[in-house]
């Protein structure tokens, strides 16, 4: 049936007339962000100070009510807009409000969220560092979120009452002490566990921003009936959870039989309308783009640059956790390739606004079975060619025609970065080794660790280089692949670090024999 036969599904145009945002307004009088207008060229107000004498909110008031009462003025001087990605600012006048429903520029290229940097630069790096640090660990709405604690750099114009948040972010930066020393001879290796989040992946960081903006648009009576995405698992989990929290319908396109049960059950449990399609992720992506151009369904894939505004906060968070000292290397698994650009953008904003004096070198790690960026890098950045992605245990990055290829190339070039790849055996071995030292990581983190191993063995990464590996999802989403590895049930894979259970007769003598043999093998060798 044609879409036009549905009265509520009248096609809406994505060709939005460019417009220039209105000048930013004066800042609000707000206890959590007390910026006042100043006649000085570089004002540096004192960040908020939390004291033990602050009265508790009334018993019949929740944290959103409290924020609403204390933030009664919602206008401020900070703003952001969509502009064509990497366009010449002197030549291009094309821009759009973030309230416009638009995903591509007039030329068909990617869009980027551009902040009013001049307004942000009215406050120095120390101010921003102190402000962001003052919000960590609080329950003040919405600043208890690792994303919304950087609200002025994310969606500065959204009313806090429209924000949909699970207090995501603030994820653990794990010192991989034993893994670094035993396998790599490194003493400053860290793993950023972005998978320790509400739905178990870094996708929550971007989805809170996107769904919050959709919530705002629906309150403005814009033509948005629901939110849709193509997914290999994690995006659909995040989308469905945040939409469920806001009471917004979510629609998910999944490639049939290509994601784990743990990933499939999340959107189903959260009430999403799930379509299982007989195609791969790239096929799902093509279909969702066609559908969202005809129906009032807001596109939630990383083609939508709002997602990257949330994901970039993980980079800022890493700097915070190092007390604003910059690591030497950050290694990120790459599939659709929005995340590597998001990390670059977060680091670069911190440098441009004076919070740090440099940015780390970035490494994008791809599975060899889905490695278009790696091949592009190895060719010396000659003409990019999509690939047919083959099956990989790192299923979330099984993408052969990434939407954000231009963003990723930009990030790698600007950070003097590198692209590496990992075979299936390499990534599974790396995952097993990491797990044996106390981690419990996803296969995508195994891809990133493989890149680290290769760069460490070649001497590119030194033994004392402070290195952060980004773990994108929780290992519990991939228990089947771990079970198959340790059971040695993976065809053509040696599973060198498998640790299967030992079957023993249920009598004292048999158990003692097995334990003695095991303990002897573990005894220190002098």
CB 81 within 8 A of CB 95: yes
**Averaged pLDDT, groups of 10, the chain, 526 residues long:** 42 42 40 40 50 75 86 70 89 92 93 97 97 93 96 96 96 97 97 95 97 97 94 89 97 83 86 92 90 94 92 98 98 96 98 98 98 98 94 92 95 98 98 97 98 98 98 94 96 96 95 95 83
Find the Cα–Cα–Cα–Cα dihedral 156, 160, 162, 164, rounded to 10°. Answer: 100
Q: Are strands 361-367 and 173-175 parallel, antiparallel or unpaired?
A: unpaired
DSSP 3-state percent helix, strand, coil across the chain (nearest 5): 40, 15, 50
Mark 431-440 as b/e (b = at least 16 C-beta within 10 Å): bbbbbeeebb
CB 398 within 8 A of CB 483: no
Q: In this predicted structure, what is the pLDDT of residue 301? A: 86
| Among 232, 443, 446, 434, CA closest to 331 | 446
Domains of the chain: 76-203+306-525 (3.40.50.1100)
Q: In this predicted structure, what is the pLDDT of residue 53? A: 61
Crossing angle of helices 424-435 and 479-486, in 10° steps, is 90
Q: In this predicted structure, what is the pLDDT of residue 264? A: 80
Q: In this predicted structure, what is the pLDDT of residue 280? A: 86
Distance CA 18, CA 96 (A): 5
CB 389 within 8 A of CB 280: yes
508: Cβ contacts below 8 Å, ≥ 6 apart: none
Q: In this predicted structure, what is the pLDDT of residue 205? A: 98
Helix (H, G, I), strand (E, B) or coil at 352: helix
Q: The tokens 């560092």 sit on which residue?
A: 129
Q: The tokens 């093998």 sit on which residue?
A: 521
CB 446 within 8 A of CB 366: no
**Taken in order 50, 149, 166, 330, is the CA torsion positive or negative?**
negative
Q: In this predicted structure, what is the pLDDT of residue 32? A: 44
């Amino acid at each position: 049936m044609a879409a036009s036969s549905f009265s509520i599904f009248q096609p809406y145009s994505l060709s939005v007339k460019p417009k220039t945002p209105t000048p930013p307004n004066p800042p609000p009088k707000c206890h959590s962000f007390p910026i006042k207008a100043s006649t000085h060229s570089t004002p540096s107000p004192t960040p908020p100070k939390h004291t033990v004498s602050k009265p508790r909110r009334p018993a019949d008031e929740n944290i959103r009510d409290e924020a609403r009462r204390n933030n009664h003025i919602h206008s401020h001087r900070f703003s952001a807009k969509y502009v064509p990605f990497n366009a010449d600012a002197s030549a291009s006048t094309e821009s759009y409000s973030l309230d416009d429903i638009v995903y591509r520029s007039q030329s068909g290229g990617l869009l980027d969220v551009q902040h009013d940097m001049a307004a942000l630069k009215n406050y120095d790096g120390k101010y921003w560092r102190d402000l962001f640090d003052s919000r960590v660990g609080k329950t003040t709405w919405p600043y208890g979120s690792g994303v919304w604690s950087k609200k002025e750099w994310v969606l500065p114009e959204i009313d806090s009452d429209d924000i949909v948040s699970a207090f995501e972010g603030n994820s653990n930066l794990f010192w991989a002490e034993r893994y670094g020393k035993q396998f790599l001879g490194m003493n400053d290796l860290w793993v950023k566990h972005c998978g320790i989040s509400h739905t178990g992946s870094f996708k929550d960081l971007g989805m809170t921003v996107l769904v919050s903006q959709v919530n705002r648009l629906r309150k403005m009576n814009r033509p948005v009936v629901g939110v849709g995405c193509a997914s290999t698992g994690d995006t659909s989990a995040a989308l469905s959870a945040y939409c469920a929290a806001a009471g917004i319908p979510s629609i998910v396109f999944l490639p049939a039989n290509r994601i784990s049960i743990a990933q499939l059950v999340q959107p189903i449990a959260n009430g999403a309308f799930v379509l299982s399609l007989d195609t791969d992720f790239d096929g799902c992506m093509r279909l969702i783009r066609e559908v969202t151009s005809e129906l009032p369904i807001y596109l939630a894939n990383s083609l939508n640059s709002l997602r990257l505004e949330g994901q970039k906060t993980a980079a800022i968070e890493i700097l915070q956790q190092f007390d604003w000292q910059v690591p030497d290397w950050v290694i990120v698994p790459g599939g659709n390739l929005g995340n590597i650009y998001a990390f670059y953008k977060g680091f670069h904003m911190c440098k441009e606004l004076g919070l740090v004096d440099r940015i780390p070198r970035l490494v994008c790690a791809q599975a060899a079975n889905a490695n278009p960026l790696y091949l592009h890098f190895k060719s010396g950045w000659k003409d990019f060619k999509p690939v047919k992605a083959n099956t990989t245990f790192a299923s979330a990055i099984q993408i052969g025609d990434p939407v954000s290829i231009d963003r990723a190339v930009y990030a790698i070039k600007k950070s003097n970065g590198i692209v590496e790849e990992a075979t299936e055996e390499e990534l599974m071995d790396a995952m097993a080794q990491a797990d044996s030292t106390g981690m419990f990581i996803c296969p995508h983190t195994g891809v990133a660790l493989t890149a680290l191993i290769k760069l460490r063995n070649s001497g590119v990464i030194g033994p004392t280089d402070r290195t952060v590996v980004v773990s994108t999802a929780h290992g519990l989403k991939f228990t089947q692949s771990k079970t198959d590895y340790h059971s040695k049930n993976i065809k053509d894979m040696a599973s060198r670090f498998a640790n299967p259970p030992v079957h023993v007769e249920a009598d004292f003598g048999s158990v003692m024999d097995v334990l003695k043999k095991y303990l002897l093998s573990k005894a220190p060798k002098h």
